Amino acid sequence: MATPIIAPSILAADFANLARDVQMLNESQADWIHIDIMDGVFVPNFSMGIPVLEAIKRHARKPLDVHLMIVNPENHIAAFQKAGAETISVHVEACQNLHRTIEQIKSLGCKAGVAINPHTSVMELENIIRDVELVCVMSVNPGFGGQKLIGNTYRKIKQLRELIIEHKSSAMIEIDGGVTLQNAQELRDAGADVLVAGSFVFNAGDPADTIRKLKSLK
């Protein structure tokens, strides 16, 4: 089994020193930079928008993994692609026509991902699992960092892995929320490919070393 893809969430960075924190990620063993976009409607919080994404892109040397936690994402995908997104994930719960939105993402040259909230069954993805490159499994209720991983996540990962195999999909499984060194190996063993970690990385005494330890998992 290959080493995991590590995607630190920039939401937990120091926004007064954003260029510094992006440079730290550039020099670390991080594979992607995960960027959460929240609109205060789909989730009960606001986060960065297009100008901040453009600023991150100017400094980043790692691919930008953009997670849209917003209503009507189809209205904004082109703007996020133009701002520097390389992977764009939309929520199944927020899309009126999920397949059309996935096709829209791909038509702009981005990798397409779909995200599911903790209460959403993986079977909601059965009809589109072959069309996406990434499935983002929310392992906490979306909106705020620093939460504890929901225990049912491991079972959902296994169910999703079975669905991917059954439909001969190449989609990777990304876990977003509550990832630590204490649970990361179990997440990997369940079938996770990509680990998103925010507070656990940026609140560490040595964030780059924490990323290295996550990356060293099998």
Active-site residues, by number, are 36, 176
Cβ 90 vs Cβ 65: under 8 Å? no
Of 108, 113, 114, give the one whose Cα is nearest residue 84: 108
CA of 114: how far to CAs of 14, 171, 216, 217, in Å?
Answer: 27, 10, 27, 25
What whole-number distance in Å separates Cα of residue 186 and Cα of residue 182? 8
Token pair in block for residue 152 = 């049912």
DSSP 98-142: HHHHHHHHHHTTPEEEEEE-TTS-GGGGTTTGGG-SEEEEESS-T
Judged on CB neighbours under 10 Å (0-12, 13-18, 19+), 170 is: exposed
Of 156, 134, 161, 145, give the one whose Cα is nearest residue 197: 145
